[in-house]
Amino acid sequence: MSKEVHNLKDADLIKQLKAESELKTKWLSLIAHDFRGLFSNIRMLLNGFDNGSISQDTLIGMLAEIKQIADKNSKTLESTFAWVNTQIDGFNPIIEEIDLYSFFQILKEELKAEIDLKRISLKYSGEKDLKLRSDRFLLTFILKQTIGNAIKYSYEGGEVRMIVSKESEGCTILIEDYGMGMNKRVQENLYTLNGCPYLGSMHEKGAGLSLVVIKDFVEKLGAKMDVSSTIGEGTTVTFIFDENKI
């Protein structure tokens, strides 16, 4: 192998390691910022209530906002712990046959609170006996977070669909909503943590962290992921699973 080829490979490796390091730094900064803000707000409220500068009515009135911030931070931790679990040396996907319709019903129950809050119609479309060989932990995170995002950016009373179809070497799964959609700038920054905090249709806050983890998990399964979106018309996330590449 020529010296030029070696140098090119070394340059690619350095570039990859630098990108991973920058992502982890942003990730840690995001978590630190979010939790510092949450605990500062809670401490301020409690101190104000204790010294009488904040009334009980004011405190109660701010609990909904504090809960929303806490929920967002909880999702950040969930994404972080899931990602860290896959970074441990020796991690290998545990492949099993998964019945997709039954799997969808479990996800629907786990997302019941979000579905009920917005009165979302979450539907399954495709063969009900379709099975996919995959890792249950990785697939659960991928689809639960993606459907959760679809609900977040859907309007009240809207519809979200999980569409499955059989392919020769696996299957394709689409998560489709008809909500807020994304502009081109947002789409270009989906996996970078460079975008501003994203707001759902009910002003739910998110930093896009779950998408970074989703993309990593999709790659661990040898699958492909594509996002297409139009402002005001909704978003479609497509996953193509090839069982020969796991």
Domain map (residue ranges) of the chain:
3-71, 95-245
More confident residue, 5 or 86: 86
User: Quick one: pLDDT band at residue 207, thresholds 50, 70, 90?
Assistant: very low
Collapsing DSSP to helix, strand or coil, 98 comes out as strand
Of the given ranges (36-45, 123-132, 148-157, 189-198), which has the lowest mean pLDDT?
189-198
Instruction: Report the alpha-carbon distance of residue 158 to residue 4 in Å, rounded.
Output: 55
* Fold of the CATH domain 95-245: Heat Shock Protein 90 (3.30.565)
Q: Are 184 and 192 in contact (CB under 8 A)?
A: no
pTM for this model (two decimals):
0.69
| pLDDT greater at residue 208 or residue 218 | 218
Which of 23-37, 62-76, 153-167, 178-192 is predicted least confidently?
23-37
Question: CA 91, CA 145: separation in Å to the nearest integer?
Answer: 21
Distance (Å, whole) CA 246 – CA 244: 6
Compute CA 131 distance to the chain's CA centroid, rounded to the nearest angstrom. Answer: 23
Could you tell me whether strands 95-99 and 224-230 are parallel, antiparallel, or unpaired per DSSP bridges? unpaired
